[in-house]
């Protein structure tokens, strides 16, 4: 009987590759919407090409890497695919980029946060990856790959009504909302609820108010403390007027009653709105292999 693919490549290697953010010039992500979109499309095509693999035609993978990858990303990919390429069983892995949010764009350099679906037939999975790509001779190539990434956010632009300022204010609000929504302490259930309530707006606020007792009791009984991992990542998927959608990723750190801490990757979309002088969450959509709710 044919066993399931031992690796959906990114899932089994989730901590094997790290990436770094490099200071760049003015961030044009979404500010120059046309060029940002074109760069995202090109990086999506490159990622899908090099994260798909057919053991019956390994040369196609090598060609895809040669055409779409440069620098440190070559070694990163080699490590990610080492187990699959050396395994005895046949593999036909197809990877698709479900969605991607530009973090930084300078014209010749793009950093984005992407959700990848991987399907090997018997196995399916989802992973969150930060890609850095550079444009070389008119062609975009991946130069850095970070699976389950933790990278510093770009320096924010002032919230002065400009497109870049609005983008970064929305991202700051989304990060604050995530901190309130995804952290909790069983030793302080009332405080945990208050922090969540403070960062949400309707319709999510109404839902929290209606379920306050349940929320507090659940946190109290959990016996755990949950905090965001270092350098959580966020990128705007859509921004129109005073509403937006933000792709968010962090590796939650969950400590149980014995003091043992485990890491749990979390990817979610946050719907945000500008209200009362700040940005708050109006809905939360966890991103899973089955898709969003």
Based on the fold, state whether residues 117 and 171 are members of the same structural domain: no
**H and E: helices and strands count for the chain:** 8, 11
Based on the fold, state whether residues 229 and 280 are members of the same structural domain: yes
Contact indicator for 234, 266 with CB cutoff of 8 Å: no
Based on the fold, state whether residues 138 and 171 are members of the same structural domain: no
Which H or E element spans position 93?
strand 92-105
Based on the fold, state whether residues 133 and 21 are members of the same structural domain: yes
- Give the separation between CA 186 and CA 221, rounded to whole angstroms: 7
CB atoms inside a 10 Å sphere around CB 225 = 20
Task: Please indicate, yes or no, if residue 205 is contained in any of the structural domains.
Answer: yes
What pLDDT is attached to residue 121? 85
Based on the fold, state whether residues 46 and 101 are members of the same structural domain: yes
pLDDT digits (tens, 9 = 90+) for 241-264: 999 999 999 999 999 999 999 999
pTM value > 0.85: yes
Contact indicator for 27, 106 with CB cutoff of 8 Å: yes
Task: Please indicate, yes or no, if residue 104 is contained in any of the structural domains.
Answer: yes
Contact indicator for 288, 124 with CB cutoff of 8 Å: no
Q: Which residue has the tokens 């960062």?
A: 199
What pLDDT is attached to residue 7? 41
* pLDDT tens per residue across all 293 residues of the chain: 233 333 455 544 444 344 455 545 689 999 999 999 999 999 999 999 999 999 999 999 999 999 999 999 999 999 999 988 888 889 999 999 999 999 999 999 999 999 999 999 888 899 999 999 999 888 999 999 999 999 999 999 999 999 999 999 999 999 999 999 999 999 999 999 999 999 999 999 999 999 999 999 999 999 999 999 999 999 999 999 999 999 999 999 999 999 999 999 999 999 999 999 999 999 999 998 765 54
Based on the fold, state whether residues 123 and 213 are members of the same structural domain: no
3-class state of residue 144 by DSSP? strand
Domain enclosing residue 267, as ranges: 163-286
Q: Which residue has the tokens 């306050």?
A: 212
- Give the separation between CA 147 and CA 130, rounded to whole angstroms: 7
Based on the fold, state whether residues 239 and 199 are members of the same structural domain: yes
Last residue of one domain, picked from the residues 97, 117, 147: 147
């Amino acid at each position: 009987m044919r066993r399931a693919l031992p690796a959906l490549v990114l899932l089994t290697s989730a901590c094997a590759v790290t990436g770094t953010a490099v200071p760049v010039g003015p961030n044009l992500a979404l500010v120059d919407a046309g060029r940002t979109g074109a760069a995202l499309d090109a990086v999506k095509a490159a990622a899908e090409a090099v994260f798909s693999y057919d053991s019956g035609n390994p040369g196609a993978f090598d060609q895809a890497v040669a055409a779409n990858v440069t620098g440190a990303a070559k070694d990163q990919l080699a490590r990610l695919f080492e187990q699959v390429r050396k395994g005895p069983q046949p593999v036909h892995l197809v990877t698709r980029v479900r969605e991607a949010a530009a973090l930084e764009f300078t014209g010749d350099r793009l950093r984005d946060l992407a959700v990848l679906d991987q399907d090997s037939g018997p196995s399916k999975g989802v992973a969150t990856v930060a890609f850095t790509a550079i444009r070389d001779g008119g062609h975009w190539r991946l130069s850095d790959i970070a699976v389950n990434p933790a990278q510093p956010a770009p320096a924010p632009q002032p919230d002065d009504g400009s497109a870049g300022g609005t983008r970064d204010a929305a991202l700051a609000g989304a990060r604050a909302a995530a901190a309130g929504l995804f952290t909790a302490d069983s030793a302080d259930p009332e405080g945990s609820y208050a922090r969540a309530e403070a960062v949400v707006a309707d319709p999510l606020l109404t839902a929290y108010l209606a379920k306050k007792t349940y929320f507090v009791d659940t946190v109290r009984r959990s016996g755990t403390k949950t905090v965001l991992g270092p350098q959580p990542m966020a990128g705007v998927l859509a921004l129109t007027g005073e509403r937006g959608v933000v792709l968010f990723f962090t590796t939650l750190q969950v400590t149980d009653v014995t003091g043992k801490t485990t890491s749990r990757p979390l990817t979610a979309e946050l719907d945000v709105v500008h209200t009362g002088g700040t940005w708050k969450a109006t809905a939360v959509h966890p991103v899973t292999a089955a898709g969003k709710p």
